[in-house]
Amino acid sequence: MSEADAIARGSRSASKRRGQERKALRAPLGAAPPKPDDLTPEASAEWDRLVPILIVLGTLGVGDGLNLRRYIELGLEYREVYAITRLPTHERVLFSDKGAASLNPLQVLRATLGRELMTHEREFGLTPNSRRSLGIALTPVITTTEPVKRGNRSGKAGADGNVIDAGDRFFGDAD
């Protein structure tokens, strides 16, 4: 079977070859893009937090600065919209003068931002499935076996008794 046939049929060897090619294309450790000078203090702090993580994952290269900036700014904007839509005074559904119901535009914006944010998380290997498809294996660091209050299906927690879940990246501790 030719290599083209193997790729077309999706054979395991072709899949393995593609995985090896992806690994070869990853940026070398320490290949961080320069930090933009015009970031807000919140965005700058998030940049400083994310860059080391993405370097270790091998999903950040020198040319990824614009993508990383977009991801960070989307995350901050999502957090603002999320906070507004969680207020008790926020109406999910709005009614016109004639009584027609429509979804609040902030709810639509929140959903749109959430989808865009998830796309960037996948690109940077920040979701379990994206890490699996990129061939990135993480070794869990568990310091205790106390039951978790939230966020971890395995029932194990870190030293503080909680596990940081995806929402905590932008919303802080929800408890």
What residue ranges do the domains of the chain occupy?
Answer: 31-136, 139-175
CA distance linking residue 175 with residue 170, whole number of Å: 14
CA distance linking residue 39 with residue 46, whole number of Å: 10
Per-residue pLDDT of the chain (175 residues), as tens digits, is: 555 454 445 555 555 555 555 555 554 555 789 999 999 999 999 999 999 988 888 888 888 999 999 999 999 999 999 998 888 888 888 888 898 888 888 889 999 999 999 999 998 888 888 888 888 877 665 555 555 455 444 444 555 555 444 444 445 544 4
| One-character DSSP codes across 120-143 | HHHHTT-SHHHHHHHT--PPP---
Q: By C-alpha distance, which of 30, 116, 32 is closest to 71?
A: 116
Q: By C-alpha distance, which of 113, 109, 134, 137 is closest to 123?
A: 134
CA distance linking residue 171 with residue 78, whole number of Å: 10
Q: Is the pTM of this model over 0.85?
A: no
